[in-house]
Amino acid sequence: MRLNRFFLIIIFLVTAVPELAAQELSVQAVVERQEVYVGESFTMQIQVEGDDAPLEPDLASITDFTVQPRGGQKNSSSSISIVNGKYTQVSRHGYIFNFSLTAKKTGRLLIPSLTVNAGGKSMQTAPINIIAKKPEESDEFKLRIQLSKEQCYVGEPVILTVTWYIGQRCDDIEFNLPIMTDQRFELVDPDPVANTGDKDKLLIPMAGREIVATRGQAKLEGRDYTTVTFQQVLIPRQAGIFILPEATVACKVITGYQQNQRHDPFGSFFGRGQQPVYQQVVTPANQPSLKANALPANGRPANFSGLIGKFTVAATAEPTEVNVGDPITLTIMLAGPQYLKNATMPPLGGQPELALNFKIPDEISPGEIQGHRKIFIQTIRAKHAGLKEIPALKLPYFNPESGTYETALSAPIPLQVKASRQVTAQDAEGLSLPSLGRELNAVSQGIAHNYEDESVLIGPNTTLTTNTPGRWWLLFLIFPPALYILLLAGRYYQNRKSRDPQGHRARKAQRKFSTEINKIKTANILRLEECLRQYLGAKLALAPGAITYKDVQPRLQKKGIPAEILNELKKIFDQFEAQRYAGEHFSENDFQTTITRCKNVVASLERSLR
């Protein structure tokens, strides 16, 4: 009987060995939709089967679209089936790359075949055709772009102003300004202006950074609109006539409601189970043109630093009564066009009269914007006594109004320079030179012996305690090792922090979030949004200024965050957008409720990310 059982067990083990089903390698590219508007973003996925760790695909061949990576995640599964006593184990390995694409122009566009390296093989995706339609302006939304001038010179700053007119509540706003990445221009933030208040300040993610915008009210074509306005400084890098590429802003508007098909026992209480129906709206902008002229070579000063506009220069010095070689702090104030961030001072060593009488180091401060001026600090030293003034500073610039090079002059600064005298030991404060009672005696044969008398010896009654102030000597014995231990602990903490700065930042994220959120005393929804973005940026190694829900969702999903937490986070971001763009009012009670929701989401994320 035991022998029969033994053979039955052997037979069962042999037949129960799972049969592994092989999986073939494959790759395909799929898109969210194949008809889009110019400026409208849509999702493209590259789906890999048979390998859960493929190499990042190269998308440089995609030229008809701007491409923004949106992360990726594994797509693996395992199952076992038993048919007639036969076990079959099926393991599927895969990976999905997510990208956001935006059409640059109208017409029939192509996503070409893409190369993907997976499982040690190089495979190709099939090409995909996309129909890109021209967006049309509606009465509810309008987008306008203005330039401060229609004609300029290469290197001359031009202020670009973008205004979005909003006539209806909307969500999921996304600006698309191809000019931001146009290599023919340099685009930078304008100089800081007076703060208009947090309630009017908006932060718009764009081109990998955040643009500061303001919300307001304006009338256009006889209708009142809520407006979102921001500016950028446009600096052409080459000469020519340029038509700015078409800009768009996409958003979703509610067109109605439909009955929720799922059974909702609380439907009668929460909106009777109705769900909003959204429609994607893409609004195009006008396309102004700009003519950029080359700077003339005729008459260009040798020390021209690239300043274009109408400039003035002033200077002050401190002190003005010095000895030869004493440092003099020279403060140079530059004023001119609206944009001064890129304005630089030519080296002062290039001014002959100043260089002749003063020592001028090569270093000069980079300059700081203060109001409508840019301030530079330079230290100089007088070379000669008797100098009566610091000569006028000469600042060459190109005046676009006259089309010629001109020079701005500062007023000379009166100065008194005295001759320096040699400093001796007798000038040292509080120091008297002792008389040397025991000198070396020089004799004709050389240096004689130096003898000391008994006065140099310690008296017999002199003890250690008579020269030691009580028990303070114990403190001097304990202090050095205690200080060493403190320094050693600080060094260890600093090394740990420097080895893993991102990990240190992530570990402190929740504590910093709690500290900052407790500082909010009024219903400041924008400050609350900034706190949440700072937390997510620290936890996910992202720049907090450009964080949207679309940025964090794939990363959190990849880390296994439950869907209910992600849904709550999305609702919070939607609420932030409603306030920022549509001017939705939040009472103090609503604000406190939103704070509680943010705290709960952060607490849930902390538990899930451990």
For residue 191, give the DSSP letter: P
SS3 328: strand
Q: Higher confidence at residue 490 or residue 183? A: 183
For residue 308, give the DSSP letter: B
Determine the Cα–Cα distance for residues 566 and 171; give it in Å rounded to an integer.
17
* Residue 397 banded pLDDT, cuts 50, 70, 90: very high
pLDDT of residue 505: 78
pLDDT tens digit string along 579-605?
665 555 567 777 888 888 999 999 998
Which secondary structure element, helix H or strand E, spans residue 19, and what is its range?
Answer: strand 19-21
pLDDT of residue 136: 86
pLDDT of residue 525: 78
CB count in 10 Å sphere of residue 282: 24
Instruction: Provide the pairing of β-strand 327-335 with 389-390.
Output: unpaired
Determine the Cα–Cα distance for residues 405 and 465; give it in Å rounded to an integer.
82
CATH 2.60.40.740 placement within the chain: 312-418
Q: What DSSP string runs through 106-162? A: SEEEEE---EEEETTEEEEPPPEEEEEEPP---SSEEEEEEES-SEEETT--EEEEE
CATH 1.20.120 placement within the chain: 503-608
Weakest mean pLDDT among 264-268, 292-296, 332-336, 578-582: 264-268
> In b/e form, how buried is each residue of 371-383, taking b as 16+ CB within 10 angstroms?
eebbebebebbbe
User: What is the mean predicted confidence (pLDDT) over 85-108?
Assistant: 84
- Cβ-contact 85, 57 below 8 angstroms: no
* Residue 495 banded pLDDT, cuts 50, 70, 90: low
Whether the predicted pLDDT of 431 surpasses 70: no
User: What is the mean predicted confidence (pLDDT) over 301-325?
Assistant: 92
AA identity, residue 36: V
User: What is the mean predicted confidence (pLDDT) over 69-98?
Assistant: 79
Determine the Cα–Cα distance for residues 276 and 260; give it in Å rounded to an integer.
9
Q: Higher confidence at residue 240 or residue 76? A: 240
AA identity, residue 279: Q
For residue 179, give the DSSP letter: G
Whether the predicted pLDDT of 201 surpasses 50: yes
pLDDT of residue 129: 95
Determine the Cα–Cα distance for residues 103 and 86; give it in Å rounded to an integer.
52
Question: Maximum Cα–Cα distance for the chain, whole Å?
Answer: 125
pLDDT of residue 547: 72
Q: What DSSP string runs through 557-596? A: HHTT--HHHHHHHHHHHHHHHHHHHH-----HHHHHHHHH
Q: How many CA atoms lie within 13 A of 113 on its CB side?
A: 6
- Cβ-contact 425, 431 below 8 angstroms: yes
- Cβ-contact 8, 59 below 8 angstroms: no
Determine the Cα–Cα distance for residues 453 and 73; give it in Å rounded to an integer.
90
* SS3 annotation, 199-226: HHEEEEEECCEEEEEEEEEEEECCEEEE
Whether the predicted pLDDT of 153 surpasses 60: yes
- Dihedrals φ, ψ of 552, to 5°? -90, -25
- Cβ-contact 103, 37 below 8 angstroms: yes
Q: Give, in order, the Cα–Cα distances in Å from 37 to each of 251, 281, 284, 337, 383.
A: 12, 9, 10, 38, 69
pLDDT tens digit string along 160-180?
999 999 999 888 888 988 898
- The domain defined by 312-418 folds into Immunoglobulin-like (2.60.40)
Structure token digits, residue 58: 């190269």
Whether the predicted pLDDT of 455 surpasses 80: no
Instruction: Provide the pairing of β-strand 86-92 with 19-21.
Output: parallel
pLDDT of residue 115: 92
- Cβ-contact 345, 376 below 8 angstroms: yes
pLDDT tens digit string along 237-281?
999 999 998 899 999 898 887 776 555 554 444 445 577 888 889
For the domain spanning 503-608, the CATH number is 1.20.120
Choose the CATH number for 15-133 among 3.20.20.70, 2.30.40.10, 2.60.40.10, 2.60.120.20: 2.60.40.10
Tell which residue, 60, 61, 222, 62, has the closest CA to residue 130.
62
pLDDT tens digit string along 11-33?
444 454 454 455 688 999 999 88
pLDDT tens digit string along 381-391?
999 999 999 99
- Mean pLDDT over all residues of the chain? 80
pLDDT of residue 219: 93
AA identity, residue 161: T
Whether the predicted pLDDT of 523 surpasses 50: yes
Structure token digits, residue 344: 């630089």
For the domain spanning 141-293, the CATH number is 2.60.40
AA identity, residue 515: T
pLDDT of residue 583: 52
pLDDT of residue 190: 83
Tell which residue, 528, 496, 533, has the closest CA to residue 592.
528
User: What is the mean predicted confidence (pLDDT) over 204-223?
Assistant: 87
Determine the Cα–Cα distance for residues 281 and 139; give it in Å rounded to an integer.
12
Instruction: Provide the pairing of β-strand 416-418 with 321-323.
Output: parallel
User: Whole-angstrom distance between the N-terminal and C-terminal Cα of the chain?
Assistant: 54
Structure token digits, residue 271: 């909106």
Place of tokens 């986070």: 569
SS3 350: helix
Structure token digits, residue 607: 């538990």
Instruction: Name beta bridge partners: 128.
Output: 111
Instruction: Provide the pairing of β-strand 446-447 with 413-414.
Output: unpaired
Q: Higher confidence at residue 190 or residue 163? A: 163
In the sheet that 86-92 helps form, which strands lie side by side, from edge to edge?
Answer: 19-21, 86-92, 77-83
* Residue 200 banded pLDDT, cuts 50, 70, 90: confident
Whether the predicted pLDDT of 518 surpasses 60: yes
